[in-house]
């Protein structure tokens, strides 16, 4: 049983607003008191949060835990431990593990491994839309749903043709499962690894045109219109792609989208010097794309933020740029760099919480949480004054690969409380235990 916790004197933000003073009481992992006035009674842990910002915890829409199949990079235990330390309360696990999550036995294996860690972090599993993600034979979605999958996904793997795409949507809709896609036209993307522009040309890197994203978005939107199926577009990278999804949402189509945090903070200029840490897919794009993505996040065209967590071992990035593995380790920088969006006036506090907590929960089909009485006690205390420089050597994740190294943060996580559980190390390190 988790300890009872009282948090007093905190400033707070949630999806509905900002509050000068909020005190919480937590018992058995749930919020039992939420008011400007501190709760009475005896508490196992008393936290004076004067000068800190209280917020609901991060809900991550794409986290590769590297298990099964790639434990030389990370594993379920290491990455859930990192999530708990970094203020991440839940993660969605894409199906591109090895073996692929295309049958109930793999779902059961993952659930058993997660349970065995004892972690309070929730793992929501996405099943594969097609067998082995090969894009030809539709998976047994009903069996995957019965095994506990909350949605299906095709990741960045191409489907054979639009007829298969339509059948996937129809089949998913029959089980009321949303489809998560990373929109990419494989023929247009080819073997590309960098945004089609002056930087890729100068560096001699094979390009990925914006059209590789927008053509795929357009196809999916046409099929959503025809079938009524729910689709979530993951990790948009282009301004035009974001505008297309925003227009579809305004027209009432059941679609949503997220953007990876690094796409809002970096452009393809980060590739200078052939820095493989900046090799991500979809690629970092132009300043115009970055600005439009920021605007669409602020306006609600893009529903959610994610960190697209992909931990790698050293050798995966220690290669020529186009031969290195794509992806960035993102959980350690999620909160610290998301706070910099507030400093840049890209979004405000409530918009940030909607993007990293409320909307991801809705996309995953999970009940609303926040800082309300009765909610699971998933929250963070953020220190806006503790602006450090991103240093991968101190990451909690086993993955040290990030294009954000050396960037100044907008603050830090002073304390993470997931399902009412706080690590003693965090209490001691930040001297919050009174």
Q: Measured between alpha carbons, how far is 221 from 243 in angstroms, rounded to an integer?
A: 12
Q: Measured between alpha carbons, how far is 319 from 300 in angstroms, rounded to an integer?
A: 38
Decide: helix, strand or coil at residue 249: helix
Q: Which two tokens stand for residue 228?
A: 């009524």
Decide: helix, strand or coil at residue 94: coil
Q: Which two tokens stand for residue 7?
A: 């948090």
- Cβ atoms of 79 and 46 within 8 Å: the answer is no
Q: Which two tokens stand for residue 55?
A: 């917020």
Measured from the Cβ of residue 420, the count of other Cβ atoms closer than 10 Å reads 22
- Cβ atoms of 150 and 230 within 8 Å: the answer is no
Q: Tell me which of 14, 102, 258, 308 is the catalytic residue.
A: 308
Decide: helix, strand or coil at residue 31: strand
Q: Measured between alpha carbons, how far is 87 from 333 in angstroms, rounded to an integer?
A: 10
Q: Measured between alpha carbons, how far is 188 from 268 in angstroms, rounded to an integer?
A: 19
What distances in angstroms separate CA 68 from CA 99, 100, 108, 296, 346, one per listed residue?
7, 9, 12, 35, 38
Beta strands at 30-35 and 17-27: parallel, antiparallel or unpaired: antiparallel
What secondary structure does DSSP assign to 74-139, as a single string? --HHHHHHHHHHTTEEEEEE-S-SSS-S-SHHHHHHHHHHHHHHT-SSEEEEEEESBGGG-SSSBP
Backbone angles phi, psi at 339, to 5 degrees: -65, -25
Q: Measured between alpha carbons, how far is 68 from 108 in angstroms, rounded to an integer?
A: 12
Length in residues, the chain: 434
Q: Measured between alpha carbons, how far is 415 from 410 in angstroms, rounded to an integer?
A: 16
Q: Is 308 known to be catalytic?
A: yes
Q: Catalogue the active-site residues.
A: 308
């Amino acid at each position: 049983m988790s300890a009872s916790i009282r948090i007093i004197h905190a400033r707070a933000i949630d999806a509905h607003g900002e509050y000068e003073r909020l005190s919480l009481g937590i018992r058995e992992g749930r919020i039992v008191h939420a008011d400007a006035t501190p709760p009475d009674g005896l508490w196992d842990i008393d936290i004076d949060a004067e000068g800190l910002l209280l917020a609901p915890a991060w809900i991550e829409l794409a986290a590769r835990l590297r298990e099964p199949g790639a434990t030389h990079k990370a594993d379920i235990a290491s990455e859930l431990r990192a999530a708990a330390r970094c203020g991440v309360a839940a993660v969605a696990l894409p199906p591109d593990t090895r073996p692929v999550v295309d049958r109930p036995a793999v779902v059961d294996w993952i659930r058993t491994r997660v349970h065995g860690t004892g972690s309070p972090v929730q793992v929501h599993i996405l099943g594969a839309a097609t067998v082995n993600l090969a894009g030809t034979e539709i998976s047994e979605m009903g069996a995957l749903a019965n095994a506990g999958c909350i949605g299906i996904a095709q990741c960045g793997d191409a489907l054979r043709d639009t007829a298969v795409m339509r059948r996937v949507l129809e089949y998913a809709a029959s089980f009321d499962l949303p489809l998560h896609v990373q929109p990419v036209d494989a023929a247009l993307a080819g073997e590309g690894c960098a945004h089609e522009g002056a930087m890729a040309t100068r560096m001699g890197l094979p390009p990925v045109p914006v059209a590789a994203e927008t053509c795929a978005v357009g196809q999916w939107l046409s099929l959503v219109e025809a079938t009524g199926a729910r689709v979530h577009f993951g990790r948009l990278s282009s301004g035009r792609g974001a505008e297309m999804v925003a227009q579809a949402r305004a027209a009432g189509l059941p679609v949503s989208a997220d953007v990876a945090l690094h796409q809002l903070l970096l452009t393809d200029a980060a590739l200078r010097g052939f820095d493989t840490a900046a090799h991500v897919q979809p690629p970092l794009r132009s300043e115009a794309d970055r600005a439009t993505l920021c605007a669409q996040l602020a306006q609600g065209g893009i529903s959610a933020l994610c960190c697209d967590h992909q931990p790698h071992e050293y050798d995966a990035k220690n290669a020529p740029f186009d031969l290195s593995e794509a992806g960035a380790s993102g959980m350690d920088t999620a909160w610290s760099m998301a706070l910099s969006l507030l400093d840049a006036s890209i979004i405000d506090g409530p918009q940030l919480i909607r993007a990293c907590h409320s909307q991801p929960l809705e996309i995953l089909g999970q009940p609303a949480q926040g800082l309300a009485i009765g909610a699971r006690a998933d929250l963070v205390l953020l220190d806006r004054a503790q602006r450090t420089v991103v240093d991968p050597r101190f990451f909690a994740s086993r993955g040290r690969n990030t294009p954000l190294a050396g960037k100044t943060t907008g603050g830090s996580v002073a304390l993470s409380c997931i399902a009412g559980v706080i690590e003693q190390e965090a209490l001691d390190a930040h001297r919050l235990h009174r």
